[in-house]
Structure 1
Amino acid sequence: MIEAADLMLATLHGRPFSDPDWLFELKYDGFRCLVVKAGEDVNLWSRNGNLFNGSFPDVVKAVEATPGDFVWDAELTVDDDTGRSDFERLRQRAVTKTPKNVRAAVKSDPARLYVFDALSIGSEDVRNLPLMDRKLHLRDSFENTRTLVYASGIPEEGRLVFDEVENLGLEGMIAKRMDSTYQRGRSRDWLKIKYQEYGRPAALGWGRK
C-alpha cells in the first residue's frame, strides 16, 4: 500500500542550471498531495498524512470523474486571478470545515491540482520506471480540466525556466533527473531551487514540498 510517507522529496539546491539530462518544473506555492483512487474511493493525503477531502470536495469530485485506479503525486493550490498560486487563500480553504462554509469556499476560491508524477497506474506500480516513462503513463491517464492540470516540465533549459520564475515572481522550480526512479524520502535526483526575493513564509504544518 502506497502512503504519504512514500513521497519523494527534493533536496534544496543553491542556483539554477541547465542540463540535457534534467527536466525542469515550476514550483507551485501549495500543499503536496498524494492522490489515491481505488474504485469509487478517493483520498487526498497531505505529506504529513492528513486528509484534505473534507475541505476540498471539488478536487475529490474531479478525481472521482477520472477513469481507472491510480496513485498520483501532485501539488494542491488555490490560484489568484492571474493564475499564480495564492498560499494564504489555500490555507484558508484547508481550515474551512463546516459544509456550508466549504460550499461557499469552493465557489469563491476553487482549488486546482497540478499533477506531476504517477506512483501506480491500475494494478501496476510504476515507481521503478524512469521519470519520463512515468510522465507518459500520467499524460495518458487524464485530460486537463479547470481542476486537474498535468504538469509537463521543460527538458534541459533550466536557466530559461528560472528566468520565467523570476519574471512572474513565482516560488521557484524543481529540477528532476529524467532517468531517475521514484524513491521514498529525500533525494538528489530531485532538486528545488527557490526564488528568495519574495520571502515565502515557512511551512505551516500541512506539508509543502
Structure 2
Amino acid sequence: MRLFGGQTPTDMDASDLMLATLYRRPFSDPEWLYEIKYDGFRCLILKAGASVDLFSRNGNLFNGSFPEIVDAVSRVPGDFAWDAELTVDDATGRPSFERLQRRAVTRTARNVRAAAGADPARLYVFDALSVDGEDLRRLPLLERKERLRESFDDTRTLIYASGVQAAGEFVFEQAQSLDLEGMVAKRLDSTYQKGRSRDWLKIKHAGYSRAAALGFGRK
C-alpha cells in the first residue's frame, strides 16, 4: 500500500490526527474497542531514520522537554508515525496533568534532566498511521493495532494501549474506580480518518477529581 499522495512520516503533521466525538454515556458492543482515556497530551510521533519528533495536537514540538521519550522512540526499529498520549504519573501511579504541564514548560538542559529524573514521562501508544513507508490508515483499527503491537515491546517509558473489545461498561467502571478521565470507544472496522469522527467516541468520567476541581466535571 502506497502512502497517500507520496506522503512520508516526516510530511505528516498534527492536522492528520483523528479526533473523537464526545458521547454522553458508556455502552457495550462487540463491534467496538474500548480504551482508557489518560489525562495527558495527545502526541503525533514521527520517526524517520535517526530523526524523531514529538508533536502536540496543536503542532508544538515536545522534543526538548521530553528527551527520555525521544530516546525511547529512537530505539524502536524502523520508520513510523504513531498516535499516542503523553503522560507524567504522580506518586500513586495515576497520570498527573499538573506535573505534565510543569514538564512541558521546562526547557533548559539542566532543568530538563532534573525534571525527567523527578517526574519521568510515559507514552501510551494506541495507533499506527504508517510503518516503514506503508500507509496503514485505510486498514481497519484491529489490523492497525496488530501491526503496532508487533513493532515494539513495552518498557517503563513506552506502553502499548491495548483496549478491551465489547465490554465498554466494564472499562468505564474501571476508569471510574481508578479516578481516571474516562474512556474512548472505537469501531473495530474504522479506518484512520483525519479530523473529528463518530467512529471514535470519548466518554468522560463526570466525577473525575481533576475535572471536578477545575469546575468542569459535568461537561
**Both structures adopt the same fold (TM-score exceeding 0.5):** yes
Q: What's 2:139 paired with?
A: 129
Corresponding residue pairs, total: 203
Unmatched 5+ residue regions in structure 1?
203-209
Measured after TM superposition, the shift of residue 199 of structure 1 is 5.1
Alignment equivalent of 1:163, drawn from 152, 173, 176: 173
Aligned partner of 1:42: which letter?
V
Q: What's 2:89 paired with?
A: 79
Q: Does 1:59 pair with 2:69?
A: yes
1:20, 1:83 → 2: CA distance?
Answer: 30
Aligned partner of 1:24: which letter?
Y
1:10, 1:69 → 2: CA distance?
Answer: 26
TM-score of the aligned structures, taking structure 2 as reference length: 0.91
Q: What's 2:192 paired with?
A: 182
Measured after TM superposition, the shift of residue 80 of structure 1 is 1.6
Measured after TM superposition, the shift of residue 81 of structure 1 is 2.5
Measured after TM superposition, the shift of residue 125 of structure 1 is 0.5
Structure with greater contact order relative to length (CA < 8 Å, sep ≥ 6)? 1
Measured after TM superposition, the shift of residue 118 of structure 1 is 0.1
1:199, 1:106 → 2: CA distance?
Answer: 23
Moved over 3 A (4+): none
Q: Deviations over 1:51-79 (max 9, x none)?
A: 00000000000001111000000000001
Measured after TM superposition, the shift of residue 100 of structure 1 is 0.6
Alignment equivalent of 1:4, drawn from 14, 21, 28: 14
Aligned partner of 1:94: which letter?
A
Unmatched 5+ residue regions in structure 2?
1-10
RMSD of aligned Cα (Å): 1.2
Aligned partner of 2:163: which letter?
G
Q: Deviations over 1:19-70 (max 9, x none)?
A: 0000000000000000000000000000000000000000000001111000
Q: Deviations over 1:126-150 (max 9, x none)?
A: 0000000000000000010000000
